Structure 1
Amino acid sequence: MTWVPDACTLPTVEQPLRVAEFDRLFADHLVAADRADPQTVELVLGADSHDSAADLIARESGCCSFFTFTLAEPANGHLRLRIQVPPTQTAVLDALADRLHR
């Protein structure tokens, strides 16, 4: 977990568990992903992922305040999640994006 930035306040012992939660969300619900720009990833998730996605991003926002998550209500059977970071945190977004299709 060398890519976790110093700005993250999640205890070190919990960081692998959080990564596993993102991996599970992506494995179970990811329909499509697009790297809109170096600071933005746009995800399409199954509509049934709303509660788990909302819970996960709320907790992640609490420890990594540099993330901006925008969760759109389900439409056409899909949920849209936009993840943005400031320019100083693109390496973190790169690492998260690398986990999308594991």
Structure 2
Amino acid sequence: MSDHHIPTHDSWVADTCTLPTAERPLRLAEFDQFFTAAVRAVDRMSAGHLRLRLDGAAQVEVTARDLTARESSCCSFFTFDLSRTDPDSLTLDVQVPAGHVDVLDALAARATAVTGER
């Protein structure tokens, strides 16, 4: 797959994000790594609701909780809900208010592109 279909690296960073600009590429790389390693499916439930189906490994849960907690601290408009659907899988629901649907659109596009839509 060529990179021309993958959104630019910072396309889903909202203007309201309080993470220092110098740290943003590192956070984006962490999300890319997480998407590549853990995401098994990307489902758009509604305009403001994205569901990521994850590998159920214990380390995936630890990483998801850490990453989403840090992201919530700088982009407070995100709501993350991690749940274990069965022993082998996790679900991460990501929700945003109507004013940030464009950010969720870009995040969904990035997750889909990086995972190769497995």
Question: Any conservation in 1 of the 2:41–2:52 contact (CA below 8 Å)?
Answer: yes
Q: Which has the larger radius of gyration?
A: 2
Q: Unmatched 5+ residue regions in structure 2? A: 1-9
* 1:24 equivalent in alignment to 2:40: no
Kindly report structure 1 stretches of 4+ aligned residues shifted beyond 6 Å.
Answer: none
Aligned-residue identity in percent? 48
TM-score normalised by structure 1 residue count: 0.93
1:68 paired with 2:105, answer no
Letter in structure 2 aligned against 1:12 = T
TM-score (norm 2): 0.81
Which amino acid in the other structure matches residue 4 of structure 1?
V
Equivalent runs, 1:1-102 vs 2, <5 Å: 1-48=10-57, 49-73=60-84, 75-100=86-111, 101-102=113-114
Q: Distance in 2 between matches of 1:4 and 1:77?
A: 31
Q: How many residues align?
A: 102
Structure 1 unpaired stretches of 5+: none
